[in-house]
Amino acid sequence: MIVSILQVIQNLVMQGLVLYRYALVIYFLLSWMPGGYQSGIGQFLTRICEPYVSVFRQFVPPIGMISLAGLVAFFALNFIEYGVAAVFNILYNLLMIIG
């Protein structure tokens, strides 16, 4: 029972991270389109992606006119995904030991 609830939670979290990764890709592609951020989708993606990417802009300096903060943020999201999967694996193992 608890394991199945944990699996549902893990699936929801992992799917949320996958959707956020797609949102980041679209957000980055909008920078190549004139007025992309002013569209409705652009404004929505800016509200959900910019707070995350801005954390990396504080630490990753631009190289010339190119900011690599988005790329670093994208790869960091992969590490976050691995971390979430590891936490759920630990929880599964604990539940197997207990139950």
Domain limits of the chain? 2-98
Q: Global pTM?
A: 0.86
Cβ count near 27 (within 10 Å)? 23
Short-list 37, 41, 75, 38, CA closest to 56: 75
Instruction: For the chain, 99 residues long, give each residue's pLDDT as a single digit of tens.
Output: 788 899 999 999 999 999 999 999 999 999 888 888 899 999 999 999 999 999 999 999 888 888 899 999 999 999 999 999 999 999 989 988 886
Nearest to 54 by CA among 70, 38, 31: 70
Q: What are phi and psi of 31, to 5 degrees?
A: -70, -20
Radius of gyration of the chain (CA): 17
Please choose, from the candidates 12, 41, 47, 11, the residue with its C-alpha nearest in 3D space to the C-alpha of residue 26.
41
